Amino acid sequence: MQHFITTLLLIACLQFQVKGQNPLSQSTQVEVGVGYIQPQFRKGAELLRSKELRSKGLSYYQDANGNRKAVGSYASPNGFNLSIAYYKPIKRVKGLMLGSIVRNAQTGSNPSDGGYEEAYFFNFITAAVAAKYYPFQEKNLFVKADFGMAAVLTKNRFINSANEQNFFHQFGIGSATGLEVGYAISPWANKEKVIEFKLGGQLANTRVEVNGIGDDNWQFSAFYLGGSFIF
């Protein structure tokens, strides 16, 4: 994904010879967005171990004899994504804007039989520098790319052998890249205020400290679709 983002930005920089420029790229933008997001777990000993437990319908809690309670099947973690961003036009490169973006994803799932007693939550935040590019003068199609810091926080909820509600948290930090494509419409008289419809993806690598493992390198991705209000 990083090579693709680099290529995308290079193409954007080569467009300065184009005479036309999309009007949306000529004014400072503040963006507030919301959407649906679903993470995918790729690498990490503990990340994949807990994923396997959920796929088998087993509780995260293991008793002294090594037994785990069957809690039923888990749906794939999913949830919502909130974002806020700020972009300024780059006068020398037509259609290109640079800025920053912060995203907060809150996802999780419950087993079919565990009820409120069992659950898995996977939340992450990214803060990045970002580029936004409008390749056409008269069509409000745009692409975005970003790179920055990532922080991940997971929570396993379960019942222990004393029938008490317990929680196990894990936290890590690292880096993330993102890519997004979308289209903007303006139903108002003020054409600088627009609504964006977009889909995108993120790829993150974080280092998480795990009991019995130490530093565990997690890699996960996420795909999302949603909308933003630009003013």
pLDDT in tens, 165-224: 899 999 999 999 999 999 999 887 777 789 999 999 999 999 998 877 888 999 999 999
Q: Computed from CA positions of residues 27, 148, 167, 156, in that sequence, does the dihedral angle turn out positive or negative?
A: positive
pLDDT of residue 141: 95
67: exposed, middle or buried (C-beta count within 10 Å: 0-12, 13-18, 19+)? exposed
Containing 4, the helix (H) or strand (E) segment is: helix 2-13
Task: Name all domains of the chain by residue range, CATH numbers in brackets.
Answer: 2-230 (2.40.160.20)
For residue 190, the Cα-to-chain-centroid distance in whole angstroms is 31
Q: Which token pair is 17?
A: 């010879």
List pLDDT tens digits, range 86-123. Answer: 999 998 899 999 999 999 999 999 998 867 789 999 99
**Residue 145: per-residue pLDDT:** 98
Give me the pLDDT at residue 12, please: 47
Check residue 135 and give its pLDDT: 92
Q: Give the confidence band of 14 by pLDDT, cuts at 50, 70, 90.
A: very low
- Higher pLDDT: 13 or 26? It is 26
Rounded Cα gap, residues 86 and 130, in angstroms: 9
Most confident by average pLDDT, 7-16, 30-39, 136-145? 30-39
User: Is residue 53 predicted with pLDDT exceeding 70?
Assistant: yes
Per-residue pLDDT at 16: 43
Rounded to two decimals, the pTM is 0.85
Q: What is the pLDDT of residue 161?
A: 85
